[in-house]
């Protein structure tokens, strides 16, 4: 059991490192350009690149801290405004438009993790951007993704549904497997719509008792 837990922790770390590689790589490139550049206009552009990359890195880290880590302290509930804020930061570029339909001021910590990881999965499926609507009420969480090109990797789908081999999960399916583990532990259920052009629906029943 300890070995399997360590393996899963490694998967989550691999997913985080993969997503952080791009903005941090851009930071490194910007610093290299800045060191060799003497033209004031080009130096200003390098500084702009550095600022954008630093902000993207911070936004991703804030998201992963809440979605994967122990953000929110040891309390049983997390403010839904915190979840909304990290999602808005993650999709700040505007490629994906967010719709937020969560009225409760707080949700159980594991419900927040499920919500964020499902939003990450659906957002990744919107390969050309689109709209991501997120709703939660009581024990129900619903994610709706719509865009011109939508692809959900079968491995990710199977992992979220608990139909994957735990020993064969890859880092790209780590968020989906985390969703499955949290939902299974609570005695809940996840449903994912059948493939449909430009549309994906994910529904979760996550008992809070």
pLDDT reported for residue 2: 43
Q: What is the pLDDT of residue 138?
A: 84
pTM assigned to the model = 0.88
**How many domains does the chain contain in total?**
1
pLDDT along the chain (209 residues), means of 10: 64 83 82 81 84 89 89 74 95 93 94 96 95 94 96 94 89 93 93 88 87
Going by C-alpha positions, the residue among 167, 154, 76, 88 that lies closest to residue 113 is: 76
User: Which helix H or strand E contains 33, and what residues bound it?
Assistant: helix 2-36
**What is the domain range of residue 196?**
2-205
Q: The CATH number of the domain where 154 resides is what?
A: 3.30.565.10
Q: Cα(9)–Cα(87) distance, rounded to whole angstroms?
A: 22
Dist. CA 68–CA 9, nearest whole Å: 10
At residue 11, the pLDDT reads 83
The per-residue pLDDT for 155 is 95
Query: Please, which residues have CB within 8 angstroms of residue 106's CB and are 6 or more apart in sequence?
Result: 77, 78, 79, 80
∠ Cα 68 72 75 (to 5°)? 120
Report CA-CA distances (Å) from 26 to 83, 94, 96, 123, 152: 26, 19, 21, 22, 27
d(CA 54, CA 156): 29
């Amino acid at each position: 059991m300890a070995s399997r837990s360590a393996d899963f922790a490694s998967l989550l770390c691999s997913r985080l490192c993969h997503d952080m590689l791009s903005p941090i790589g851009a930071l490194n490139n910007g610093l290299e350009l800045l060191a060799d550049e003497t033209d004031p206009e080009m130096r200003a552009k390098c500084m702009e690149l550095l600022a954008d990359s630093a902000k993207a890195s911070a936004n991703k880290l804030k998201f992963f801290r809440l979605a994967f880590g122990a953000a929110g302290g040891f309390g049983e509930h997390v403010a839904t405004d915190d979840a909304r804020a990290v999602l808005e930061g993650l999709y700040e570029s505007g490629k994906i438009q967010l719709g937020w339909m969560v009225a409760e001021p707080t949700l159980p910590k594991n419900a927040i993790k499920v919500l964020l990881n499902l939003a990450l999965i659906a957002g990744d499926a919107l390969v050309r951007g689109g709209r991501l609507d997120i709703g939660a009420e009581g024990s129900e969480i619903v994610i709706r993704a719509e865009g011109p090109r939508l692809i959900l990797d079968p491995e990710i789908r199977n992992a979220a549904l608990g139909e994957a081999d735990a020993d064969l999960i890859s880092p790209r399916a780590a968020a989906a497997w985390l969703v499955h583990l949290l939902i299974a532990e609570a005695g809940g259920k996840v449903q994912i719509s059948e493939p449909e052009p430009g549309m994906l629906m994910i529904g979760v029943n996550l008992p809070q008792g």
